[in-house]
Amino acid sequence: MSQDLFDADHARKFANYLFLTGQYEFAAEEFERVVFLAPDDSSARIKLLDAYISDGKFETGLNRLTDFYRIDAELPPSFTKQYLKLMFYMEHYSEADTFLKSYQGFGNTYKHCYTANFQMLDNNWDKAKSNLEIINQKDNSYFRNLESIVRLKEETKYKSPALAGIYSAIIPGSGKVYTKNWQDGLVAFLFVSVNAWQAYRGFDKYGTKSAYGWIFGSLAVTFYAGNIFGSVKSAKKYNNKLDEDIFNRSSAALLNNL
């Protein structure tokens, strides 16, 4: 008897091949066919959502999830994980936090870990710490990872943009040195100093009507003002880099446990 190349099993194999080779758009189309042919196949539904997520079609993925289930406390755990992935990629952190408060499908440890993780992503560090303190599961690797990220956040030393600006107002370039941007700090110091010195020489030699003095004086003032603004910007950039690292750690912690 000839094989039916259009049945659910063949469609599933082809869809898996497309997914594994990174052809997520076509994989989603094929998994849609599997879901149509085998509507009770939960694994095909999961794979379909994975394909939409991998293809960056988060709204479509969420719409399909709501076609399968209501988003409430009765949502099966495997589909809840897909929902949380979608909330992460759509940056709906507070919405995920609210959902998890009433959800009981994971057990106490993971419920609080997921909740704390989304609160960390939403920059609610006090709430995240409180959630972790409720469970205090030192033997759980996910908990330990989140706890270490909270500790890192607490121990992170930020640079003050105002202080960076003040430093550079006193000594050009020192604000950038304060933000560990040594090279730019030295360049700023040299630019301001050299132009100020040239302006002084021009005025000293030719008087206040010296075009030479005014040109270099204007350059010195411009570089001086830019040095202050640049130092403030450098401090903000330094802080943003620290926050980005913490955010990336928090993101990885979540995705590694979904």
pLDDT at 1 over 60: no
Residues 196, 137 share a domain: no
Residues 22, 99 share a domain: no
Can you give the pTM of this predicted structure? 0.83
Residues 210, 149 share a domain: no
Using alpha carbons only, how large is the chain's radius of gyration in Å? 29
What are the DSSP calls for 231-244, one per residue? Answer: HHHHHHHHHHHHHH
User: Domain for residue 81, yes or no?
Assistant: no
Query: Which residues constitute the domain of residue 18?
Result: 1-68
Under 8 Å between Cβ of 188 and 223: yes
For the stretch 198-251, pLDDT in tens is 656 656 666 666 666 666 566 656 777 777 888 898 899 999 999 999 999 999
Amino acid, single-letter form, for residue 5:
L
Under 8 Å between Cβ of 134 and 112: yes
> Would you state the pLDDT for residue 170?
83
Q: Which two tokens stand for residue 151?
A: 């500790």
User: Domain for residue 131, yes or no?
Assistant: yes
Residues in contact with 226: Cβ distance below 8 Å, sequence separation at least 6, in sequence order = 188
Q: Which two tokens stand for residue 229?
A: 């603004």
Residues 169, 228 share a domain: yes
Spatial distance between the Cα atoms of 168 and 158, rounded to a whole number of angstroms: 17
Spatial distance between the Cα atoms of 190 and 45, rounded to a whole number of angstroms: 63
Q: Which of 71, 11, 75, 73 is nearest to 47 (CA)?
A: 11
For the stretch 122-168, pLDDT in tens is 999 999 999 999 888 888 899 999 999 999 999 999 999 998 888 88
User: Domain for residue 206, yes or no?
Assistant: yes
Tally of domains in the chain: 3
User: Domain for residue 132, yes or no?
Assistant: yes
Spatial distance between the Cα atoms of 25 and 85, rounded to a whole number of angstroms: 18
For the stretch 82-100, pLDDT in tens is 999 999 999 999 999 999 9
